[in-house]
Amino acid sequence: MPLESNARIAKALAERGYNAEREAITLLAGAADPAAAVAAAVDHAPDEALRITADHVREATAETERSAASPDANGQSPVETEGSAARGAGETDAGSAAATTDGTAVADDRSDASTTETTTTETSTTETTTAETTTAEASSADRSRDPDLRELEVGNDMTGRSTGTGEYGDFVTTFRDRYERLSKILRGRVNHRPAEAIADMPGGSDAAMIGLVNDVRSTKSGHWLVELEDTTGTFPALVMKDKGLADVVDEILMDECIAVEGTLADDAGILFADSLHFPDVPRTHNPGGADRHVQAALISDVHVGSDEFMADAWHAFTDWLHTPEADPVEYLLLAGDMVEGVGVYPDQDEELEIVDIYEQYEVFAEHLKEVPADTEIVMIPGNHDAVRLAEPQPGFNDEIRSIMDVHDARIVSNPATVSVEGVEVLMYHGVSLDEVIAELPEEKASYDEPHKAMYQLLKKRHVAPQFGGHTRVAPEERDYLVMEDVPDVFHTGHVHKLGWGKYHNVLAVNSGCWQAQTDFQKSVNIDPDAGYAPILDLDTLDMTVRKFS
């Protein structure tokens, strides 16, 4: 029997303007002649139908069989297909790597169709290579996917709320809001005074200040001068080299909000720091969780339109999404760079397969159609997408939205928070990670361990603290880049490296990409992790990484 991929069937139906039930796709894939079965199902479906159901397929098959003189010996009856689906799904539940409860990876040796490697990092995981699944395995009776059980809520989407005019005054407003909201987090920890008041305190007093970092520099004698700014003015703090704070000073980025505690010099002109504090995530953070076994695929950086877009890996991924093993994967979160875009980097056009940005989105939409129609999709833009580069980036405009009008995907701003069945997921594309990695020492943030750079952002409670550098920040009435609430999961992409781990109970995931190494990346030795899909258990917050390349 020819092996017809589920994704191809979904696409064939989509091209004819139909969504389809998963079970319908399974039945069509199992047909002796899937192409003919698709045609028959489409013919059979009522004119007003938007969705091909399993019943449409069964009725169409029955009709074809009735009219055929001798039925094809290889033909699979719908009943057989359903029977094997039930067995397949049962086995998956029992043997699935994702079903482990203690976070220990368990090899999934259930079928020859997939090979499993086990890797252990800070949080254990399983890496699985999924080959094309067999038709029997792909059979799914769609039992465990009940859209009524789903809960998906978007918070902090700034699309349509941009107020900035780009004037100086707007930046003042943004920074005031940043200060207000981040200083609130620090206020309970230090007994702070405004810069203005500290300047009037007698020399030798104990004092503390909360402010945005205006300057950090090392002095000739090897100490550090940290200047903080609040709404009343600036004040300098001297961090002496013998205070054991070098490690903390190393982590300071410009424009982030920190607190300094210490003693005023005799002339009261400078504060000798005893301690420095970041807003940080409390160690007691208690993440939420779904009350059923349901999963989300966290991906990013698809880069459709690039010569290096890995179509085969993408098809393998979407094929897998149609298998019973992927039954619990009811959510797909896409953290930016859907397409390669045009004019993003110098000489980028030499590596474009599709040079028209709209055509790139059209092809991306085609690829998205391969994802099971009943998957909830959330997308934010990245630096390659057709929205403004400055962050926060609003969700796509109406023109691009109408092109990507697939599966009712929710298109929101970068960053945005989504609450998925009780799990708060902060989605951010990740441009600031380049900067964090460039500024901080290797062991605190590197391309090989992108999640550690994410830990720094969590510590700063801001997704892009530094202003005026590589990451462009747009002036808005509100600083949408502040992490006011602690997320349970922090999901980024952009650096094209896979990495994950937990920081104070927050799972940080940088999700790799679907683009092979570009010439630029080769020239700077970036070796991308392409073709991986981290799958998050929303009930346990355990992760399984599947490899499709």
Exposed, middle or buried, 242 (CB in 10 Å: 0-12/13-18/19+)? exposed
Q: Where do the DSSP E strands lie in 121-202?
A: 124-130, 152-155
How many residues bind Zn ion (CB under 5 A)? The answer is 4
Q: How far is the CB of 194 from Fe ion (least distance, A)?
A: 42
Of 51-59, 255-263, 362-370, 488-496, the window that binds ligand D5M (rule: CB under 6 A) is 488-496
Pair of tokens at residue 502: 């937990």
Q: Which helix (H) or strand (E) holds 90?
A: helix 78-95
Diameter of the chain by CA atoms?
Answer: 104
Stretch that binds Zn ion, among 4-12, 179-187, 200-208, 378-386 (CB under 5 A): 378-386
Q: Which has the closest alpha carbon to 82: 24, 42, 156, 168? A: 24
Tokens of 438: 């460039």
Chain positions 294 to 313 lying near ligand D5M, rule: CB under 6 A, are 301
Contact with ligand D5M (CB under 6 A): which of 307, 434, 477, 484?
434
Please, is 226 exposed, middle or buried when counting C-beta atoms within 10 Å of its C-beta (0-12, 13-18, 19+)? buried
358 interacts with, out of Fe ion, ligand D5M, Zn ion, none, CB within 5 to 8 A per kind: none
Of the candidate spans 95-103, 157-165, 196-204, 294-302, the one that interacts with Fe ion by CB under 5 A turns out to be 294-302
The angle at the Cα of 128, spanning 510 to 303, to the nearest 5 degrees, equals: 45
Q: Is 449 in the site for ligand D5M (CB under 6 A)?
A: no
Q: Which does 510 bind (CB under 5 to 8 A by kind): Zn ion, Fe ion, ligand D5M, none?
A: none
Among 34, 14, 25, 26, smallest CA distance to 366 is for 14
Between the CA atoms of 518, 355, 384 and 172, what dihedral angle is there, to the nearest 10 degrees?
Answer: 130
Binding mask 344-373 for ligand D5M (x = CB under 6 A): -x----------------------------
**Binding flag, residue 391, ligand D5M (CB under 6 A):** no
Question: Which residue lies nearer to Zn ion by CB, 337 or 424?
Answer: 337
Whether residue 181 contacts residue 479, with contact meaning beta carbons closer than 8 Å, is answered with yes
Q: Which does 495 bind (CB under 5 to 8 A by kind): Zn ion, ligand D5M, Fe ion, none?
A: ligand D5M
- Helix residue ranges per DSSP H, 384-492: 398-403, 431-439, 450-460
Q: Which of residues 222-281 bind ligand D5M (CB under 6 A)?
A: none
Task: Supply φ then ψ for residue 431, to 5 degrees.
Answer: -60, -35
Judged by CB under 5 A, does residue 383 bind Zn ion?
A: yes
Residue 445 to residue 480: CA distance in whole angstroms: 24
Please give the residue whose beta carbon sits closest to ligand D5M in the complex.
Answer: 345
**Is residue 137 a contact point for Fe ion (CB under 5 A)?**
no
User: At 378, which amino acid appears?
Assistant: V
Could you say whether residue 495 binds ligand D5M (CB under 6 A)?
yes
- Min CB(330)–ligand D5M separation in Å: 27
* Beta carbon nearer to Fe ion, 301 or 424: 301
- We find the least distance from the C-beta atom of residue 379 to Zn ion, in angstroms, to be 14
Which of 507, 512, 516 is CA-nearest to residue 533? 512
User: Which is closer to ligand D5M, CB of 384 or CB of 451?
Assistant: 384
Nearer to ligand D5M by C-beta: 308 or 542?
A: 308
Distance from chain centroid for Cα 337: 11
Separation in Å, CA 538 to CA 232, 296, 416: 45, 7, 18
What string marks each residue from 477 to 516 as x (binds Zn ion by CB under 5 A) or -?
-----------------x----------------------
Q: Which residues bind to Zn ion, rule: CB under 5 A? A: 337, 382-383, 494
Q: Which residues bind to ligand D5M, rule: CB under 6 A? A: 301, 337, 345, 383-384, 434, 494-496, 520-521, 526
